[in-house]
Amino acid sequence: MERISWDHYFMAQSHLLAMRSTCTRLEVGATIVRDKRIIAGGYNGSISGGVHCIDEGCYVIDGHCVRTIHAEMNAILQCAKFGVPVEGAEMYVTHFPCLHCCRTIIQSGIKTLYYANDYKNHPYAIEQFREAGLTVKHVPFHNQHLNPLHEEQKELMHQLLHAAEVGADSATIASLQDKIEQLYPSNAYQR
């Protein structure tokens, strides 16, 4: 089995954090890392104790939801709240940061930004990153990084597809279904 890379490991953390988002427009997660250790994480959502967009809808002004705090900001604020310095750290974020978050990232002292998805990449943000000497790297991330298929699983899927294509007999299909149930015992798959 092949080990997941550090970049994909930390990007996976950001994608998991994004699943906590309360924003209905875009789920974003951010992870701050120093020396291969996670020091903070954040997702986009309302202030602590505030009304959430998933409950009452977005509060949009000039095309932007003003109810949510962005994931990058939440991660940096978490460090500030608990007295954890971010100088020289790295940030992994699911989407390219907005202009405001880009400037906050620069001012916080983060030295490297990894992002998985392009999202309205503002040319001035890119210019400011370059002027600040902040390294920006695109790290494409797909769900298979969270749940990679083993060779046996891949082969089983190919066999099942082939059986369906050629109209295999019911005994062959039943045998493949039994193998699926063995590989995925917690799956809700039903015959």
Q: Which of 191, 156, 187, 188 is nearest to 174 (CA)?
A: 191
Catalytic residue among 2, 56, 72, 152: 72
**Residue 124 CA: distances (Å) to CA of 70, 102, 180, 183:** 19, 10, 51, 49
87 is catalytic: no
Upper half-sphere CA count for residue 110 (Cβ side, 13 Å)? 29
Rounded Cα–Cα distance for residues 126 and 107 (Å): 15
- Catalytic site residues? 72
